[in-house]
Chains A and B, each alone.
Chain A
């Protein structure tokens, strides 16, 4: 790469030396700094930058990407707002990958790795991509995408012989010709290391899955849609390299009678480190017991386990680094986690069923008790997302005291209990933010009264390094938002939901936040015309308004604003109104 820049020197350093040094520099912030030193270094960085993530596809254009980084090897693109994963974004909002794939296929001669997240990708798009890049493509991730069918998967399977990673997690894929694509993959590819179609609805037969595992001797990660687990027993015996498995499906013991009672038949290779089973119940749980001591990741989010089951299982897993559960784990389960999982780095406690009719275990609630236990017991935690039913300041203070390695913390206070033990949580939040100095991502979704305007100003003051924030039901007036906006010097992406702020305050806050480049708001004091939002009009700042689905739900309208060098979108659907620049 550096060869064709000749024998030039800069700052007394020959290009050759510079190239050797910069090869070790991967961090995007450092690369950014390099590119701003002088034109020469800018060109150098441009030609040697291997990977780029474009967090908002509409913030730039494919042509600009090509001009800036013509030698790119790996690209990650995201389009739809994160709220799309919560079914809050209209179907026709946008996010088509077509213009990107067209340019990537025509140029970018070094591209080997492509990751599209929350985008619309058509069969035609994939055909264009495959035609141009099949000989080079090493990794393709269509993550939470839609618009394509299994015919494209078959095409990819047939044509991309070097593909070691195919990820389709949670994408919506039209099914055509059953699981022919899987047979094609199994017979055409022998270098596959990752196949992930977890949380999709496409069919995969046990026969073709077994064929794949037999033929792809390097397979490390296999995450599938629902396939009956008893029929997969043999598959696990034929692999020596498998490290991660997720998906499958356990049938009900009542239906299967004796057949699925043979839990002794289950076997996983010694290489297995990460497991997740759908609909696993109390009886099936025992198949994990022989492997628990070696497990590094356990995902119980989609199981039917009770609180007691969680306790039984987790207490056998001292080496867990990642644990994902629903709040049925309860405070009791979290106490077991705290006692047992000393190496835990990532913990996610999702929201279970609200139905009090007995679907979830009656002990299945997480409160300040569980939070405190985990904070004290798991000092290595870096990522922690938790849905709680009750909370106190002391629990948040404990997190600030003990969870020093946290870089991503997300708390949602559920609506289950009418009374919360202690509100407001101003002091707890202050202690948490003061103590967790490495925090870069923070979500605090609570209820009115849980964080006052003062508390919100604390958040502003103490979020020196936070880059992403989601706030829900915080503050009690515009003053809170304005105080908040005077802080947060690093905040790049802000999501606000269900708050009481006026349009004008939101606009002023957007102008105040120094680093803000992306803003999403749903639930605010809207004016009839949206006119107050115009207070934040400025160059390169796109402001879009997503209308409420109906007149009777005016609170559901959304504001989306982001910096863009591409001007107004040209593919706006009727439900999205451009406020600036207006089309």
Chain B
């Protein structure tokens, strides 16, 4: 579980470096930790900078600060030392009221597909897009995992064809609820027979006192409708 959590999140470059380190430990065993890492005396004589350490051979050293570190996909950063396997992800295509889902679709094929799609004129109906779909099925030979039709009622005023569970009122936060109840109590205590709040007597205007506040004669002291 923990490992999969790491996959999805946007890792800091520090966390990615740690990730690389732990992969190294797993590959070379705990002894590698004690032996040190590319900073042994022999190497230090020949090379002085970290990038230079690369040439010493990938077996003993590793790039702790991958240049590609940043906010890109975690998989990209891990790639240099990790396996050379193809990146496989899920591909979802929405087209003409249909949804096609392919699991484990290779990254380079997806890139090609997207290039193909973007080259075609989006307005043209029989442009490159359908061809792309055909290419996909030809190349991939994978069976779409999920095909479903989009609800036709997209454009109309929707009458959702779903079995609604129950009419659940939107829950109110307890603190707000208490406040609104208290407000009702105060209103009723003040004027239990009041028909509407606008019957409340208007505020006394004190323009003299307010002059020093710089409000001027136009200070908005309307009758307090809100209360």
- List residues of B (189-203) whose CB comes within 8 Å of A's CBs: 190, 196-198, 200-201, 203
**In the bound complex, do residue B18 and residue A36 qualify as a contact, i.e. CB atoms below 8 Å apart?**
yes
A540 at the interface (CB under 8 A from B): yes
Residues of the A chain whose Cβ atoms lie less than 8 Å from the Cβ of B95: none
**In the bound complex, do residue A358 and residue B227 qualify as a contact, i.e. CB atoms below 8 Å apart?**
no
**In the bound complex, do residue B5 and residue A415 qualify as a contact, i.e. CB atoms below 8 Å apart?**
no
| Residues A353 and B180 in contact in the complex (CB < 8 Å), given A412-B170, A492-B5, A498-B165 | yes
**In the bound complex, do residue B226 and residue A525 qualify as a contact, i.e. CB atoms below 8 Å apart?**
no
Mask, A75-91, CB within 8 Å of B = 1, is 00000000101111000
A328 at the interface (CB under 8 A from B): yes
A414 at the interface (CB under 8 A from B): yes
A261 and B173 alpha carbons, distance in the complex (Å): 33
Choose from A9, A38, A424, A524 the contact partner of B165 (Cβ within 8 Å). A524
A-binding segment of B19-27, B110-118, B124-132: B19-27
Mask, B176-195, CB within 8 Å of A = 1, is 11111001101100100000
B158 at the interface (CB under 8 A from A): yes
**In the bound complex, do residue B7 and residue A500 qualify as a contact, i.e. CB atoms below 8 Å apart?**
no
- List residues of B (134-156) whose CB comes within 8 Å of A's CBs: 146, 148, 150-151, 154
**In the bound complex, do residue A477 and residue B34 qualify as a contact, i.e. CB atoms below 8 Å apart?**
no
| Residues A523 and B19 in contact in the complex (CB < 8 Å), given A289-B213, A515-B4 | no
| Closest chain B residue to A472, Cβ basis | B170
Instruction: Output the least CB separation between A471 and chain B (Å).
Output: 13
Residues of the A chain whose Cβ atoms lie less than 8 Å from the Cβ of B21: 11, 37-38
**In the bound complex, do residue A9 and residue B157 qualify as a contact, i.e. CB atoms below 8 Å apart?**
no
Residues of the A chain whose Cβ atoms lie less than 8 Å from the Cβ of B160: 448-449, 476, 500
**In the bound complex, do residue B12 and residue A489 qualify as a contact, i.e. CB atoms below 8 Å apart?**
no
A250 and B226 alpha carbons, distance in the complex (Å): 15
Mask, B191-227, CB within 8 Å of A = 1, is 0000011101101101001100101000011101111
**In the bound complex, do residue A38 and residue B33 qualify as a contact, i.e. CB atoms below 8 Å apart?**
yes
A331 and B10 alpha carbons, distance in the complex (Å): 36
| Residues A281 and B165 in contact in the complex (CB < 8 Å), given A170-B175, A255-B190, A515-B8 | no
**In the bound complex, do residue B186 and residue A498 qualify as a contact, i.e. CB atoms below 8 Å apart?**
no
A181 at the interface (CB under 8 A from B): no
Choose from A306, A424, A497, A514 the contact partner of B225 (Cβ within 8 Å). A306
Instruction: Output the least CB separation between A13 and chain B (Å).
Output: 9
| Residues A309 and B179 in contact in the complex (CB < 8 Å), given A483-B99, A514-B4, A514-B5 | no
**In the bound complex, do residue A30 and residue B12 qualify as a contact, i.e. CB atoms below 8 Å apart?**
yes
- List residues of B (72-119) whose CB comes within 8 Å of A's CBs: 90, 92, 94, 99, 101
**In the bound complex, do residue A29 and residue B12 qualify as a contact, i.e. CB atoms below 8 Å apart?**
yes
Interface of A is mostly: loop
**In the bound complex, do residue A86 and residue B203 qualify as a contact, i.e. CB atoms below 8 Å apart?**
no
- List residues of A (488-527) whose CB comes within 8 Å of B's CBs: 488-492, 497-500, 514-515, 517, 522-526
| Closest chain A residue to B204, Cβ basis | A261
| Residues A489 and B197 in contact in the complex (CB < 8 Å), given A282-B226, A350-B176 | no
| Closest chain A residue to B201, Cβ basis | A254
A88 and B171 alpha carbons, distance in the complex (Å): 8
A424 and B6 alpha carbons, distance in the complex (Å): 34
**In the bound complex, do residue A306 and residue B226 qualify as a contact, i.e. CB atoms below 8 Å apart?**
yes
**In the bound complex, do residue A30 and residue B163 qualify as a contact, i.e. CB atoms below 8 Å apart?**
no
B166 at the interface (CB under 8 A from A): yes
Mask, B19-47, CB within 8 Å of A = 1, is 10110010000100110111110000000
B162 at the interface (CB under 8 A from A): yes
A457 at the interface (CB under 8 A from B): yes
Residues of the A chain whose Cβ atoms lie less than 8 Å from the Cβ of B101: 483, 486
- List residues of A (321-364) whose CB comes within 8 Å of B's CBs: 326, 328, 350-353, 357-361
Residues of the B chain whose Cβ atoms lie less than 8 Å from the Cβ of A483: 92, 99, 101, 146
Instruction: Output the least CB separation between B67 and chain A (Å).
Output: 19
| Residues A83 and B171 in contact in the complex (CB < 8 Å), given A29-B9, A36-B22, A282-B203 | yes
A286 and B210 alpha carbons, distance in the complex (Å): 9
| Closest chain B residue to A289, Cβ basis | B213
Instruction: Output the least CB separation between A252 and chain B (Å).
Output: 6
Residues of the B chain whose Cβ atoms lie less than 8 Å from the Cβ of A88: 171
Most buried by B among A38, A199, A261, A308: A38
A290 at the interface (CB under 8 A from B): yes
**In the bound complex, do residue A10 and residue B168 qualify as a contact, i.e. CB atoms below 8 Å apart?**
no
B164 at the interface (CB under 8 A from A): yes
A358 and B213 alpha carbons, distance in the complex (Å): 31
A332 and B153 alpha carbons, distance in the complex (Å): 35
| Closest chain B residue to A522, Cβ basis | B168
Instruction: Output the least CB separation between B178 and chain A (Å).
Output: 8
**In the bound complex, do residue B90 and residue A476 qualify as a contact, i.e. CB atoms below 8 Å apart?**
no
A205 at the interface (CB under 8 A from B): no
A423 and B175 alpha carbons, distance in the complex (Å): 31
**In the bound complex, do residue B33 and residue A281 qualify as a contact, i.e. CB atoms below 8 Å apart?**
no
B50 at the interface (CB under 8 A from A): no
**In the bound complex, do residue B166 and residue A553 qualify as a contact, i.e. CB atoms below 8 Å apart?**
yes
**In the bound complex, do residue B25 and residue A27 qualify as a contact, i.e. CB atoms below 8 Å apart?**
no
Instruction: Output the least CB separation between A47 and chain B (Å).
Output: 17
| Closest chain B residue to A10, Cβ basis | B33
A477 and B2 alpha carbons, distance in the complex (Å): 31
| Closest chain B residue to A477, Cβ basis | B162
Instruction: Output the least CB separation between B156 and chain A (Å).
Output: 10
A127 at the interface (CB under 8 A from B): no
**In the bound complex, do residue B190 and residue A254 qualify as a contact, i.e. CB atoms below 8 Å apart?**
yes
**In the bound complex, do residue B170 and residue A415 qualify as a contact, i.e. CB atoms below 8 Å apart?**
yes
B174 at the interface (CB under 8 A from A): yes
A409 at the interface (CB under 8 A from B): no
Residues of the B chain whose Cβ atoms lie less than 8 Å from the Cβ of A255: 190
Instruction: Output the least CB separation between A338 and chain B (Å).
Output: 20
| Closest chain A residue to B210, Cβ basis | A286
Residues of the B chain whose Cβ atoms lie less than 8 Å from the Cβ of A264: 209
Residues of the A chain whose Cβ atoms lie less than 8 Å from the Cβ of B37: 11-12
- List residues of A (167-197) whose CB comes within 8 Å of B's CBs: 170
A245 at the interface (CB under 8 A from B): no
A199 and B177 alpha carbons, distance in the complex (Å): 12
A479 at the interface (CB under 8 A from B): yes
Instruction: Output the least CB separation between A351 and chain B (Å).
Output: 6
Mask, A526-552, CB within 8 Å of B = 1, is 100000000000001000000000000
A574 and B12 alpha carbons, distance in the complex (Å): 45
A416 and B151 alpha carbons, distance in the complex (Å): 27
**In the bound complex, do residue B39 and residue A12 qualify as a contact, i.e. CB atoms below 8 Å apart?**
yes
**In the bound complex, do residue A517 and residue B150 qualify as a contact, i.e. CB atoms below 8 Å apart?**
no
- List residues of A (276-323) whose CB comes within 8 Å of B's CBs: 278-279, 281-283, 286, 289-290, 301-302, 304-309, 312
A12-B40, A452-B151, A554-B166 given; 16 more Cβ-contact pairs under 8 Å: A10-B34, A12-B38, A33-B22, A37-B21, A86-B173, A359-B197, A415-B170, A457-B92, A465-B10, A482-B146, A489-B7, A514-B4, A514-B5, A515-B8, A525-B163, A556-B168
Name 7 interchain pairs, CB-CB below 8 A, sorted by A: A27-B12, A33-B16, A33-B22, A85-B173, A465-B10, A467-B9, A483-B101
Shortest Cβ-Cβ A-B pairs, 7 listed: A555-B166, A489-B8, A12-B36, A306-B226, A33-B18, A449-B158, A33-B15
Q: Which residues of B contact A (CB under 8 A)?
A: 1-2, 4-12, 14-16, 18-19, 21-22, 25, 30, 33-34, 36-40, 90, 92, 94, 99, 101, 146, 148, 150-151, 154, 157-166, 168-180, 183-184, 186-187, 190, 196-198, 200-201, 203-204, 206, 209-210, 213, 215, 220-222, 224-227
